[in-house]
Structure 1
């Protein structure tokens, strides 16, 4: 196999350049390893927080642009769940208390407490669960299973087929709704949301097709803003391709003609 052998100083420069590219790729890969440093974790947390704020701003802006008039009232298209579920049907994944709902619209975690007996409010998939204690904490979850909850959590279920559940979730997870909910809460140390006032909340309800367009826009933007893993793997792949491109360019010497 014939290979090009440039002068020694050219070889050294090529090695230096490719080493730098290798180092950059290795550093970025290390950032995604299980042994993340505290500094990197803080940076990623800050980046994720910034992206979530960006998503909230865009969501509020988009919903506001459709807020031509408040032509729908929550009680006309939804109701609180009246169904009941037994304690023996509940587990850490499907029992929702206000304690395992996360602040600032971050969903929920597994419950550390599971009731042993009694009947509880049953929620269905695509119901919207809202923490009713200290509403300024903005606790809300879009249900993806069937389970139970208690009186400290509102389980809201759509009754109108013309409303897309995801659209209502975006409405009720907006800062506009939580500001309304908080302003109608009662109590000082442990304020509780007003269930009647919640059902009297008014908002703009467009056609089902328009709701779907809004939901699709927000879902795509939420993935970009909230899933930080979308960006870093793509960055690593781009760095690798960049490295390979320069490596091939640097090693592509014209063959020297050999006098016979």
Structure 2
């Protein structure tokens, strides 16, 4: 693929694992682009498509916000909008049961390799779209509580520290004896 790299404005974004922030959910940019000839040797993904790593961060889903191409280290999922709300599918694919099933079906060798047949073979629940939206709203709130530095647990910890310091200072402030 190196021979297909380009700096030209019409280059096609080439999605690699290093392009996604640790713990990220979306693919928004790439460090490199390839020529159209290079893209023709790859698989195109479009905004809204899911991309799953098939080796390094095994089975980790990402949602593409860009048009680009992926290489052999990725799988893609598209055309699911009639069945799944994208954010529900994201949470579902990241869930422990689905990840464990991917690992179980990928084999017990030294290097586990996720492939399209493994992903297709995993059965997942399909609640109604309205129920999926409800579940997403709850999971997104929990995610914000746990991970958003300005709210949730970090803010609660900060508030408890301030409360502790307040009471400590009050308890350790003595009136002078007359």
Answer yes or no: is the 8 Å Cα contact 1:164–1:208 preserved in 2. Answer: yes
Distance 1:100 1:193 in 2: 20
The count of aligned residue pairs is 151
Q: Does 1:90 align with 2:12?
A: yes
Answer yes or no: is the 8 Å Cα contact 2:11–2:33 preserved in 1. Answer: no
Distance 1:214 1:222 in 2: 12
Deviation at 1:96, TM superposition (A): 1.6
Q: What is residue 44 of structure 2 aligned with on the other side?
A: 122
Answer yes or no: is the 8 Å Cα contact 2:11–2:34 preserved in 1. Answer: no
Q: Does 1:155 align with 2:94?
A: no
Greater Rg by CA: 1
Distance 1:163 1:150 in 2: 25
TM-score, normalising length: structure 1: 0.48
Distance 1:183 1:219 in 2: 28
Distance 1:187 1:214 in 2: 33
Q: What is residue 254 of structure 1 aligned with on the other side?
A: none
Deviation at 1:184, TM superposition (A): 1.9
Answer yes or no: is the 8 Å Cα contact 1:181–1:198 preserved in 2. Answer: yes
Unaligned runs of 5+ in 2: 1-5, 167-178
Distance 2:60 2:21 in 1: 6
Corresponding residue SS for 2:34: coil
Deviation at 1:230, TM superposition (A): 2.4
Deviation at 1:89, TM superposition (A): 3.5
Unaligned runs of 5+ in 1: 1-86, 244-260
Deviations 1:96-130 (A, max 9, x none): 22444567x54468644443451232222222111
Answer yes or no: is the 8 Å Cα contact 2:29–2:66 preserved in 1. Answer: no
Residue 99 (structure 2) aligned to one of 178, 200, 217: 178
CA gap of 1:205–1:90, structure 2 versus 1, over 3 A, is same
Structure with bigger RCO (C-alpha 8 Å, 6+ apart) = 1
TM-score, normalising length: structure 2: 0.66
The answer to which structure has the higher helix fraction is 1
> Over aligned residues, Cα RMSD in angstroms?
3.5
Moved segments of 4+, more than 6 Å: none
CA gap of 1:99–1:90, structure 2 versus 1, over 3 A, is same
Corresponding residue SS for 1:148: strand
